[in-house]
Amino acid sequence: MYYAIVFLPLAGALIAGFFGRLIGARASEVITSAFLVLAAVLSWLAFFQVGLGGQDARIEIFRWVTSGELQVSWALRIDTLTAVMLVVVNSISSLVHIYSIGYMSHDPHRPRFFAYLSLFTFAMLMLVTSDNFLQMFFGWEGVGLMSYLLIGFWYQKPEANAAAIKAFVVNRVGDFGFALGIFAIFYIFGAIQFDTVFAAAPDQVGKTFKFLNWEVDVLTAICLLLFMGAMGKSAQFLLHTWLPDAMEGPTPVSALIHAATMVTAGVFMVARLSPLFEFSPTALGVVTFVGATTAFFAATVGLVQNDIKRVVAYSTCSQLGYMFVAIGVGAYAAGIFHLFTHAFFKALLFLGSGSVIHALHDEQDMRHMGGLRKVLPYTWIAMLVGTLALTGFPFLAGYYSKDAIIEAAFVAQSGVSSYAFVLTVFAALLTSFYSWRLMFMTFHGKNRSEPEVFKKAHESPLIILIPLALLVVGSICAGFLFKDMFIDKGYEAFWRTSLFTLPSNNIIHDLHDVPDMVKFSPAIMMATGFLVALLFYKITPAAPANLADAFRPIYLFLLNKWYFDELYDAIFTKPAMRIGRFLWKKGDGATIDGLGPDGVATRVLDVTRGMIRLQSGYVYHYAFAMLIGVALLATYFMFAPGASQ
Amino acid sequence: MKEAATTSPFLTYILALPEILLVVGAMILLMVGAFRGERSANAISWAAVVLLLLAAVFVLLLPAKGKVLFDGAFIVDSFGRFMKVLTLIGSAAAIVMSFDYMRRARLEKFEYPILILLATAGMMMMISANDLIALYLGLEVQSLALYVIAAFRTDSVRSSEAGLKYFVLGALSSGMLLYGCSLIYGFTGTTGFPGIAAAATLGQTNLGLIFGLVFFLAGLAFKVSAVPFHMWTPDVYEGAPTPVTAFFAAAPKVAAMAMFLRAVLSAFPEITPQWQQIVVFISIASMILGAFAAIGQTDIKRLMAYSSIGHMGFALVGLAAGNAAGAQAVIIYLTIYLVMNLGVFACILSMRRSDGMVEDIDELAGLSRNNPMMAFLLAMLLFSLAGIPPLAGFFAKFYVFLAAINAGLYTLAVIGVLSSVVGAYYYLRIVKIMYFDEPAEEFEAMPGKLQAILGVSGALVTLYFFYPAPLVSAASAAAKSLF
């Protein structure tokens, strides 16, 4: 069964990729989608088997690398954490596949698109089923590559290419840390199997190594390096810049990769490595701090964005911050629970946005939307459910998971967790505001789009609506159905050993006993956000513009995403370009080529020209040359020392 | 020094039979031509080819052991044998290659093969000369015939100009040679090579003898067109009718180089350091000039002129080593050079369109598509001329550089290798034009005789590396007889 789950997407990708032209676009779509649906159904089976039945498994496929101490196998590690990820990845992926059949119906390169989607899914599955760091890195890079290919899927668009490259390069920065972390693990532990490393981790507590005359705690250093990789992949503060730009890719890609699955890989990785992180409070503090900052930062930027997909993208970034907060304070289960629910409602929001964009013929600017509720009733319902779930409306998915995170941050009671608590609560307000802003600008009020476009706008076909409907169900039910298992009474039985917590860590139990004020704070924030949005965009539509004018610097600061792109451009990109240009023009062109090949070639031509000029055609010149030659030789023998005795 | 017994008169004439055959044959054919008129040109040409090949057979039948004839003026040994056969083949091939051109140019005159016969007789004299006077006689017999052949196309100003330039400068060089010979005679008291060798020893050399040597070598260098005595070469190659150029580039170069070899090695073995310096100088100058000046050429005949200047420079590298290995390398080099040149000129002679011959390199554009076989063989020959392994030209260069290295002439070898790199450019440029440029108009079909020569030459050059032993051992035997 696990073989089928992991390798069906690969098979689909190979078929669509290599034989797409042969079998046609329709067949490619059907085959890849059918394989994914099958894999999704099997994943749910596995979920119940592992999560409820407790049947963990480890399946060795084959030996991969045997080199000295380094022994690596391809193996599937199936425990509850993996099973949860399998469900998330395969469910969302299969829905996105089906959705794409409708969404991409006018694209001429559909086989390639579906091959990429399936191959991405395979890489993601490799990542979540990995049994060792190397295999995880393989999946990690695989999803990065497919993300690059899918962002740049419309390679005719320069922005798409730029965004693809940006995503790849920023992720490289994170991967650099990840790779160093893996090297460090091999150096310290002499192995890269999870089980071996986890078993040896307690012995390394408090040990240090010397780096540049500086005592560094071993586990903290490893964890921080690994977290650097997670920051890149999960678009956390400072390494987040690629995610909004990644929206240049097709919308189904945004839903699958840049909302539900790949970006959560960082969260998954830290959760998977909880046996390491648990022993490094410093690293966990950093995780909390970065997560809280991201949650707040991304939410503020989301307030003022006008591109519908970018709003959702910043929302994703913000929600990922929440997950890291949960993990940072030790509530791994809460983080994974949020990952699980978030996958449904964020995919729903993206696919709903896609439906809007599809209806308006690729219009993404919310300023050119409005009043679409009547035209797109089903999409409106879907988006409404998604928004409610995201903002944490009671009994919907986000309500359980997000509140759990905020409560966990409150319970943790350390300096950094207080910081996280304040920021996450405030971010909940912002989340509510920007989500409702999106809803009001898109679906309510007067139509602001071109009348022509508006007239032609129509509800999406069934093949797009069905995935939306299923996600609506998921967004409503994922919370209360699984709450018990993930973070409540069924916690121990469900997770067993897949998440490691120190005996002193009882946060999951404690978070249920928090003051009522804390319990209600997210709901209050949500309501406030809703009311403000209602006021701004329904009742007094002039208010946002006035406010923006009144606080112009702040507005511009947010609109320009805290000027991160400009900052990076000035600090890294421009100097790198300058160095590159210098090395190219001056180093390679002028010095190496100039003194080397080009210079020599030019001198050769000069010499040639001179020699040809000697060949004047006059006999007396020729005779003169002969006489000069003889004279030179004779003179040489007359005066050269030792030339003759 | 040779220990060659004088021989009986009868045996003397037997040993000189190839030369006698050529000279007498030339006389007879001249009579035939004079009486039968122009119609006999074709038959006389074929007769000349047969005569040359017959002479080659006779040469091969001669004993390999060294014999000195005519009071020491003429020597028959295995070196001479080898070089004579090479020269005879070169001359014969030149006549074969000329048929088609001469017919199309309305130049079918019976004098042409006869002049080649006489020139070849002169070359054989040069190769066998063991005395300054014999050497000069052979040289002049050859040169006078060549002057006339260069100007053979009497209705062409350029051909006449080429012949005149060659004659004037040739006379100058003969003068230098003679002046050198007289100085040498004056300071050694003899004209025979063994006698000079005995007199010109290190301890007793003086500036007069060295001066004589300088002038003598200047005259020889003119004949092999080594820098700075090369100036006539490009103009004559370009101006002379193409078959004549093909002839000039092959047999006379081989003969002149053979004469050069024998003269310095058997007449001045004791003062090797002295002539070695001169040879090194003209060798370096020739290699460099051949490499650089050829780059700027657009006319393929002119380019081949500079190419041959460069190749003579490479051959002289072997001579500069001044030992048997060096001489062996030169002999191999000359053999391969002759083969390559005949093949290339077969191609140049095929560059003909309905409106006449073309000589511009760009006219070869796209030959690979119009005539893939010719383009391939020409490309192989050019690669070989550039010295790219595993073609024969690589081994030719390899042997001479190896000899130079073993003789401690590192500077010379390094400069040689570097200039062969520069030189590779212009050969490769032709290959590039043939294979990558837009095709020019097609050439007329290649005549069968040229096809045959190109085929043989291409095959020898490409397949040499499979079986180099016969040439190496023959050259080794030939080189040993000089020491």
Of B228, B274, B293, Cβ closest to residue A644: B274
pLDDT tens digits for range B391-430: 999 999 999 999 999 999 999 999 999 999 989 999 999 9
Closest-CA residue in chain A for B231?
A622
CA B179-B181-B187 angle, 5° bins = 105
Q: How far is B388 from chain A (nearest CA, A)?
A: 20
0.90 cut: is pTM over it? no
Yes or no, beta carbons of B296 and A612 under 8 Å apart = yes
10 Å Cβ neighbour count for A246?
Answer: 28
Q: Is the pLDDT of residue B342 over 90?
A: yes
pLDDT of residue B204: 57
pLDDT of residue B334: 95
Q: Which of B168, B214, B418 to mutate to test the interface with A (most CBs of A within 10 A)?
A: B214
Yes or no, beta carbons of B214 and A612 under 8 Å apart = no
All residues of chain A having their beta carbon less than 8 Å from the beta carbon of residue B217 are 633
Yes or no, beta carbons of A645 and B203 under 8 Å apart = yes
pLDDT tens digits for range B250-280: 999 999 999 999 999 999 988 888 889 899 9
For residues A145 and A123, the answer to whether their CB atoms sit within 8 Å is yes
Yes or no, beta carbons of A629 and B218 under 8 Å apart = yes
Q: Is the pLDDT of residue B365 over 60?
A: yes
Of B202, B222, B278, Cβ closest to residue A633: B278
A643 touches chain B (CB under 8 A): yes
Q: Which pLDDT band, with edges at 50, 70 and 90, does A224 fall under?
A: very high
Q: Which of B297, B273, B257 is nearest to B86 (CA)?
A: B257
Closest-CA residue in chain A for B201?
A645
Q: What is the DSSP letter of A51?
A: I
pLDDT of residue A10: 92
Q: Which of A231-235, A413-417, B155-159, B198-202 has the lowest mean pLDDT?
A: B198-202
pLDDT of residue B89: 95
B172 touches chain A (CB under 8 A): yes
Q: Which of B275, B272, B269, B161 is nearest to B218 (CA)?
A: B275
Yes or no, beta carbons of B228 and A626 under 8 Å apart = yes
Q: Is the pLDDT of residue A628 over 70?
A: yes
Q: Is the pLDDT of residue B3 over 70?
A: no
What does the mean pLDDT of chain B come to?
A: 91
Mean pLDDT of A42-71: 85
For residues A586 and B129, the answer to whether their CB atoms sit within 8 Å is no
All residues of chain B having their beta carbon less than 8 Å from the beta carbon of residue A630 are 176, 214-215, 218
**Token reading at A607:** 């010499």
Predicted-complex ipTM score? 0.87
pLDDT tens digits for range A588-597: 888 888 887 7
Of A615, A617, A622, Cβ closest to residue B169: A622
pLDDT of residue B344: 95
Q: Which of A616, A622, A624, A635 to mutate to test the interface with B (most CBs of B within 10 A)?
A: A622
All residues of chain B having their beta carbon less than 8 Å from the beta carbon of residue A622 are 165, 169, 231-232
Mean pLDDT of B52-66: 88
A595 touches chain B (CB under 8 A): no
For residues B253 and B337, the answer to whether their CB atoms sit within 8 Å is yes
Selection from A159-163, A188-192, B381-385 with the highest mean pLDDT? B381-385
All residues of chain A having their beta carbon less than 8 Å from the beta carbon of residue B274 are 637, 643-644
All residues of chain B having their beta carbon less than 8 Å from the beta carbon of residue A609 are 296
Mean pLDDT of A144-159: 91
A615 touches chain B (CB under 8 A): yes
A630 touches chain B (CB under 8 A): yes
B203 touches chain A (CB under 8 A): yes
pLDDT tens digits for range B125-146: 999 999 999 999 999 999 999 9
Mean pLDDT of A568-597: 85
Supply the angle between the helices B272-295 and B410-436 in degrees, to the nearest 10.
20
Yes or no, beta carbons of B218 and A633 under 8 Å apart = yes
Mean pLDDT of A102-125: 91
Yes or no, beta carbons of B176 and A623 under 8 Å apart = no
pLDDT of residue A492: 82
Q: Report the alpha-carbon distance of residue B25 to residue B48 in Å, rounded.
A: 8
> Any idea of the CA torsion for B19, B308, B470, B392, to the nearest 10 degrees?
-160
**DSSP SS3 for A118:** helix
Yes or no, beta carbons of A609 and B296 under 8 Å apart = yes
Q: Is the pLDDT of residue A180 over 50?
A: yes
All residues of chain A having their beta carbon less than 8 Å from the beta carbon of residue B202 are 645
Q: Which of A49-53, B214-218, B425-429 has the lowest mean pLDDT?
A: A49-53
Q: Which of A339-348, B195-204, B311-320 has the lowest mean pLDDT?
A: B195-204
A628 touches chain B (CB under 8 A): yes
Closest-CA residue in chain A for B177?
A630
- DSSP H or E run through A58: strand A57-67
pLDDT of residue A249: 87
Q: Which pLDDT band, with edges at 50, 70 and 90, does A645 fall under?
A: very low
A481 touches chain B (CB under 8 A): no
Yes or no, beta carbons of B214 and A626 under 8 Å apart = no
Tokens 């890989």 locate to A265
pLDDT tens digits for range A547-567: 888 888 888 888 888 888 888
Of A608, A622, A633, Cβ closest to residue B232: A622
Q: Which of B318, B329, B187, B303 is nearest to B249 (CA)?
A: B303
Q: Is the pLDDT of residue B346 over 50?
A: yes
pLDDT of residue B7: 61
End-to-end CA distance of chain B: 7
Yes or no, beta carbons of A622 and B222 under 8 Å apart = no
pLDDT tens digits for range A271-289: 999 999 999 889 999 999 9
pLDDT of residue A642: 56
For chain B, what percent of residues have pLDDT higher than 90? 69
Q: What DSSP string describes A197-219?
A: HHHHGGGGTT-EEESSS-EEEHH
Q: Is the pLDDT of residue B376 over 60?
A: yes
For residues B214 and A633, the answer to whether their CB atoms sit within 8 Å is yes
Backbone angles phi, psi at B13, to 5 degrees: -70, -30
Yes or no, beta carbons of A604 and B278 under 8 Å apart = no
Selection from A404-418, B198-212, B314-328 with the highest mean pLDDT? B314-328
All residues of chain B having their beta carbon less than 8 Å from the beta carbon of residue A597 are none
Mean pLDDT of A140-154: 92
Q: How far is B289 from chain A (nearest CA, A)?
A: 7
Q: How far is A61 from chain B (nearest CA, A)?
A: 50
Quick one: how many helices (H) and strands (E) in chain B?
A: 21, 4
Quick one: how many helices (H) and strands (E) in chain A?
A: 29, 4
Yes or no, beta carbons of A637 and B214 under 8 Å apart = yes
> Any idea of the CA torsion for A574, A580, A586, A592, to the nearest 10 degrees?
180
Q: How far is B405 from chain A (nearest CA, A)?
A: 22
What does the mean pLDDT of chain A come to?
A: 88
Q: Which pLDDT band, with edges at 50, 70 and 90, does A644 fall under?
A: very low
* Cis geometry, peptide bond prior to residue B470 (ω within 30 degrees of 0): no
Of B218, B222, B293, Cβ closest to residue A612: B293
All residues of chain A having their beta carbon less than 8 Å from the beta carbon of residue B281 are 633
pLDDT tens digits for range B316-337: 999 999 899 999 999 999 999 9
